[in-house]
Amino acid sequence: MAMVASPQNHSGFQAGGTRRPELVVALDTPSLAKAEEWVKSLAGLVHWFKVGLELYTAAGPAALQLPPKYGGYVFWDAKLHDIPHTVAEAARQAVRAGVKMLTVHAAGGPAMVAAAVAACREEAAVQGRTPPLVVAVTVLTSLSTETLVQLGLGADPARIGAMWALLAVDAGADGVVAAVPDVAKIRAQVGRRALIVTPGIRPAGGPGTGAATDGPDDQVRVATPAAARAAGSDFVVVGRPITRAKDPVQAALSILTELGEPG
């Protein structure tokens, strides 16, 4: 798989946003059978698959076993946000399930993030495994500036994202999840020591056939694959533009082309 420039973190992945980002396909469906269809067809072309709240709630831990069945890696987008002890115990379960990347909420605070990281490393040592990457969600792509003001956070999502990113990375997180428009300020804060995962990716040619036929597109801060690479993303997460396309393989190939050549 294509890696990004140094430095390496404890899991061997490299951060910096100077090479083609890894494509992560979001398995956003309540159907384990449909998710398996997508993984099977994309295996080999795509290495990473995101299991989010919808699929995990419907299928449980079986969803986390699906990508490895076809040689893929699991990005469990659990968005853990609770007291540190509870988050740490959930993180231990992620290690036992073989998850390779796990999300927590930066808004849970440095102590919570640190607890998740420590639990992952401790449990990985017990299991004889490499600990999963722990990435902290900053400002959701669905949050507009108006909503942020309503929440009392201010009107600059990039400023908030950069502040939360620094707190999370200083607490031990391997990286953060952020909208593409926020990446520049986040890089200025954390430099190349942290991975940046960007959702809200939309292909330049449009969302793809059938991309929004199963519900509204509620992400308001979106960007193209090329813009994500230019901003310095290390991973890009794409769901419906691939999975709801008439030909998911061709849709994935098109997005990889937009991301540019590995290097």
* Residues identified as active-site: 79
Spatial CA neighbour of 44 closest among 236, 249, 232: 249
Judged by phi (left if over 0) then psi (alpha if -120 to 50, else beta), residue 12 lies in left
Token readout for 15 is 């951060």
Q: Are 201 and 236 contacting, i.e. CB atoms less than 8 angstroms apart?
A: yes
Cα–Cα distance measured from residue 217 to residue 152, given in angstroms and rounded to the nearest whole number: 25
Cα–Cα distance measured from residue 71 to residue 203, given in angstroms and rounded to the nearest whole number: 26
Cα–Cα distance measured from residue 251 to residue 241, given in angstroms and rounded to the nearest whole number: 7
Residue 197 φ/ψ, nearest 5 degrees: -105, 125
